[in-house]
Amino acid sequence: MSAEATNPEARSEARPELRRRGRTRLDLRRLGRAALLGPTSRDRLPDAIGHVAEAHRAHHPDADLSILRRAYVLAESSHRGQMRKSGEPYITHPLAVTLILAELGAETTTLTASLLHDTVEDTEVTLDQVREEFGDEVCFIVDGVTKVEKIDYGAAAEPETFRKMLVATGNDVRVMSIKLADRLHNMRTLGVMRPDKQARIAKVTRDVLIPLAERLGVQALKTELEDLVFAILHPEEYEHTRALIAAHAGERDPLPAIAESVRVVLREAGIHAEVLVRPRHFVSVHRISRKRGELRGSDFGRLLILVGENADCYGVLGELHTCFTPVVSEFKDFIAVPKFNLYQSLHTAFATSDGHVAEVIVRTRQMHRVAEAGVVALGNPYATAAATAATAATAAAAASGATAGSAEACADPYEERVDPTRPGWLSRLLDWQQSAPDPDTFWSVLRAELAQDREITVFRADGGAPATISLPGGASCIDAAYAQYGEAAHGCIGARVNGRLTSLTSRLSDGDTVQLLLAHDASSGPSADWLEHAHTPAARIAISSWLKAHPDGAAATTTAARAPLSVVGARGGGGNAVADLPDATVRLAGCCTPVPPDAVAGFVVRGGAVTVHRVQCAAVEQMRSLGRTSVAVHWRATADCRVTLLAESFGRPHLLADLTEAIAREGVEVVSATVEPPVEQRVRHSYTLQLPDATGLPALMRAMRDVPGVYDVSRA
């Protein structure tokens, strides 16, 4: 995209070690001017699309190449006369980007849009022309990667361009595939730029594009982008790492011999597998050197074992762990539990008899293709038989000179498109970006969101749809609340995780089951300390907006410690309990508040009064140990009784009023009530109640539990 360039060979010359070592992954560094244009003079462009066609046919033998040739003709003619800063014809840039994607296995529509990705931005070609010539799908993708006008947005042009691109990616991930390949070629050819501009572009690549490549699973692009950014932003460490790799190149590498030993083991076990030595890229070597200090020969690469079926992966694992000494701490199963970016493999390590430790990756060939190319390897996730037929008809009509379609506009980039493959992180990003109209807020929050390198999945306990919620690692119940309920989560007052009550600030783990408890009081809202425990942008933006709009409400919802609040009625006594002791005063014990038809025991205390306890009460044994006189107690025929109930709830405004109202609706009189100071947003209420009929106690307790915020009611 309007990229400044220098000699394409310069970057590969700066990194001879990787080229000489012959990496087994898709080698995207071999693309240069000669590969694109052939040995022709600079003033005459050949039909360079042939190189793209050759790479494309390697992955898609039956692909219709006529649309690619037409796209190339339009791109070459529209860019004719434009030059890159290196002095090369500008057409070399869209060709290089398209060749990168073709090597990764992108389908025809992606390559067509890639050839045209700068035409609308940098030439007189319009979106309408692209649509008429190549159809709505190509038009949509080209529009998605086209920058917004800097004259309209000023300093906000870059954030708004990424916002537009991400929204388009939510409807078609191929938009971001082209952007990543575009940035890779620009980073390869960044040498003619001023150092300050190189650093600025490298930082954006590091903070935004590399995390996006990781999340989309395009490791082949991500690893090279990491190395290029590393060389620009950390030149001294880059040179040190390059020296380490160069020194290792002159030494004996133990990995080929270890790989041969593994081949023998697998061959004897009857497992058909391809065992390769996979050198680490620069950043990986740098990380491992910081982790382990001095590096040994086996630290500069890993073994990659490719098999045909999933079951073979575990067969290989069993043979390795049987015939070698496994390093248990290095084992990871990303086949049973894939990463959130589609990645699947088994990771393990074993020690050899001479002390070398070999790290091993085991995967099927299909897993390998997805691990390298990510979403690019999935082709068109939106294709249907009808859509494929329509695309073919459009291409045929255009090839014959007819106009495809009607006068409809290019597909709306903001129109929601059904995509069952859309990852959870992308859905979250699309949701919160709507709440961040300020470009600076969007830009800073986007970088923070992409910095999260781990994702967890939690399950909804209420059985609602969707059944799962995707969250970044370290997310709390607060994040789950806003992911599930949006702004309605302002009224969240608690949560149950795996069936157990917990605070909203509790961190969630992968696989947890979450039940979120909401207050129905419109005045409920988040407290300022929620921001300390909210990790997702959606939660932080929503909480900040509410606090800004309710400055008084924020203060009102804080849970400062208070003295217990007591409400005391006028009644007392023993209710309808009768002691077999003439003229004795009978009192119901406050520790257990017995009610009919509880089995009870009475004891004479000071002053000749009789206290009545439930027989299960701990005080009964204490009374007997003190030698208190036991008195038989029975219940009168009358049905009224007195009982003390404990209600545990989450703190919120008007809770006491709602509880007393629920009690009153049951026809029960409040004798006394005590509210303890809140602890971690939890409040404990104690009510002594006079019931007209003991049989109404279960219904009363249910009514109290139904009050929003109350999670438990029990007898004292």
The catalytic residue positions are: 121-122
**Rounded distance, CA 466 to CA 460, Å?**
8
The string of DSSP codes covering 340-390 is TTS---EEEEEE-TTS-EEEEEEEEHHHHHHHHHGGGGG--TT--HHHHHH
Q: Give the Cβ contact number of residue 665 at 10 Å.
A: 10
Strands 600-604 and 630-631, by their bridges, are antiparallel
83: helix, strand or coil: strand
Return the CA Rg of the chain.
Answer: 35
Q: Give the Cβ contact number of residue 94 at 10 Å.
A: 26
The string of DSSP codes covering 660-671 is HHHHHHTT-EEE
Residue holding tokens 């490719």?
Answer: 306
Angle between the 255-268 and 310-323 helix axes, to the nearest 10 degrees? 110
Residues in the chain: 716
CB contact at 8 A, 317 and 272: no
Q: Which helix (H) or strand (E) holds 567?
A: strand 565-568
Listed residue (656, 654, 702) closest to 675, CA to CA: 656
Provide the token pair at 59.
Answer: 């992955």
E strand residue ranges, 368-504:
455-460, 468-472, 492-497, 500-502
Query: Cα–Cα distances in Å, from 169 out to 17, 93, 165, 172, 380?
Result: 36, 22, 6, 5, 13
CB contact at 8 A, 115 and 383: no
**Rounded distance, CA 128 to CA 136, Å?**
9
Provide the token pair at 110.
Answer: 């992606």
**Distance from CA of residue 667 to its chain's centroid?**
51
Strands 610-614 and 513-518, by their bridges, are unpaired
Provide the token pair at 463.
Answer: 């059985």
CB contact at 8 A, 476 and 506: yes
Task: Indicate the Cα dihedral angle 180, 279, 19, 52, nearest 10°.
Answer: -40
- For the chain, how far is it from start to end, CA to CA, in angstroms? 72
Number of H helices, E strands in the chain: 30, 22
CB contact at 8 A, 195 and 11: no
Q: Give the Cβ contact number of residue 7 at 10 Å.
A: 17
**Rounded distance, CA 620 to CA 629, Å?**
11
494 contacts: CB under 8 Å, gap ≥ 6: 501, 502, 503, 504, 516, 517, 650, 681, 682, 709, 711
